[in-house]
């Protein structure tokens, strides 16, 4: 999901958040990493209630936290805390779909119309591949929703959104470009449709398929697909969203919410450890054939850095890392690994919307990979 926080920061520049007590902890299976802890502290200072991270490299495993788990307390963030990982879900879902391709249950060139007749206009011209790599041209349903800081957003906190509802809201708008495949534009609508295609192909929900194909085999014990359940198992930091009323902007605890609004591309709950393990397993070939992994790492459009549910970035030291990032309204996350899995980094934070932490997150990633 594109960073909603950038929009929210603009809308909440007047937000004054009381400084949280400085609480920082680090757990290392190798040695203390003060440079990483300092970058994590910088990230919190840039606009977060709290943050946690895990780095794996030649020095071992380093885990750290900064800030607090809950506003107006001194409660430390659990180093193995769970969080909503937003669009990192897309990498899980894409992996499950490419496994189905490996098994011959569907093809990347299958059309939406073949699997979901009548679901979208021009469904016979949009392929599974184009849904995966954001070249379908389908309007992003997120643009049709009321979002923070509009307080009306809170009225839908417990609402269950069906896939058909979300797709219907999207296709009520014209395509963002035509023909499909000609351009790249991020659209969560495509992943809602992919979730429905998985169900048609397997007879099971996309969440069940991700559980049995990825979460269980990899023993990702802190990772769940919550579906419509608003709960997040302990331990976890609290997440917040801004809401305006009475002429002021307030932070509202939004830890519990119905995640169906995030759709098939945004609902996963995980930990820094589990996401590092997942990305490593993906890149080392434990989950996909070489052919499908090559498909996953092929750019959607020349010059783009997104393939089939997987993104990449080139660091300042010339090292390319693969993974994804996620924005789940009250939580943000980044998870990346080098192709050889020798360097991995996952960060999660709970934004306070007093600033934009993206640059500080990039600086942490650079420190973790380039030193």
Angle value at C-alpha 132, between 53 and 213, nearest 5 degrees: 65
Query: 368: which 2 tokens?
Result: 């973790």
Which has the closest alpha carbon to 340: 360, 354, 320, 325? 320
Which has the closest alpha carbon to 187: 273, 263, 119, 269? 263
- Is 229 noted as a catalytic residue in this protein? no
DSSP class of residue 99? Answer: H
The count of other CB atoms within 10 Å of the CB of residue 20 is 19
Residue 23 φ/ψ region, left for φ over 0, alpha for ψ in the -120 to 50 degree band, beta for the rest: beta
Exactly one of 5, 66, 87, 136 is catalytic; name it.
87
CA distance 194 to 125: 15
CA distance 63 to 53: 6
Angle value at C-alpha 284, between 348 and 200, nearest 5 degrees: 80
Identify the H or E element spanning 327. Answer: strand 320-327
Do 252 and 241 meet the contact criterion of CB atoms below 8 Å apart? yes
Rg for the chain, CA atoms, rounded = 20
Q: Active-site residue numbers?
A: 87
């Amino acid at each position: 999901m594109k960073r909603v926080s950038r929009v929210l920061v603009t809308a909440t520049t007047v937000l004054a958040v009381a400084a949280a007590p400085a609480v920082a902890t680090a757990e290392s299976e190798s040695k203390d990493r003060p440079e990483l802890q300092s970058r994590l502290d910088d990230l919190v200072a840039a606009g977060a209630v709290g943050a946690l991270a895990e780095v794996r490299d030649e020095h071992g495993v380093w885990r750290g936290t900064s800030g607090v788990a809950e506003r107006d307390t001194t409660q430390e963030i659990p180093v193995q805390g769970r969080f909503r990982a937003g669009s990192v879900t897309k990498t899980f879902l894409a992996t499950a779909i490419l496994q189905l391709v490996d098994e011959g249950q569907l093809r990347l060139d299958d059309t939406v119309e073949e699997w979901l007749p009548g679901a979208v206009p021009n469904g016979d011209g949009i392929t599974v591949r184009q849904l995966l790599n954001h070249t379908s041209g389908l309007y992003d349903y997120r643009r049709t929703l009321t979002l923070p800081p509009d307080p009306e957003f809170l009225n839908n906190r417990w609402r269950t959104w069906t896939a058909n509802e979300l797709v219907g809201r999207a296709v009520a708008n014209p395509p963002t470009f035509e023909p499909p495949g000609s351009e790249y534009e991020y659209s969560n609508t495509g992943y809602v449709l992919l979730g429905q295609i998985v169900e048609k192909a397997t007879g099971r929900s996309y969440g069940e398929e991700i559980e049995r194909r990825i979460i269980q085999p990899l023993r990702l014990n802190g990772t769940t697909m919550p579906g419509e359940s608003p709960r997040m198992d302990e331990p976890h930091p609290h997440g917040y969203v801004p809401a305006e009323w009475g002429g002021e902007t307030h932070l509202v605890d939004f830890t519990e919410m119905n995640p169906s609004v995030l759709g098939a591309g945004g609902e996963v709950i995980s930990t820094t450890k589990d996401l590092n393990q997942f990305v490593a397993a993906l890149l080392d070939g434990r989950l996909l054939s070489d052919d499908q992994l090559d498909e996953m790492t092929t750019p959607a459009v020349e010059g783009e850095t997104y393939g089939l549910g997987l993104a990449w970035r080139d660091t300042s030291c010339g090292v390319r890392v693969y993974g994804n990032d996620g924005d789940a309204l009250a939580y943000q996350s980044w998870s990346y690994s080098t192709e050889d899995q020798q360097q991995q980094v996952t960060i999660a934070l709970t934004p306070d919307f007093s600033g934009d932490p993206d640059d500080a997150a990039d600086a942490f990633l650079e420190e973790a990979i380039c030193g």
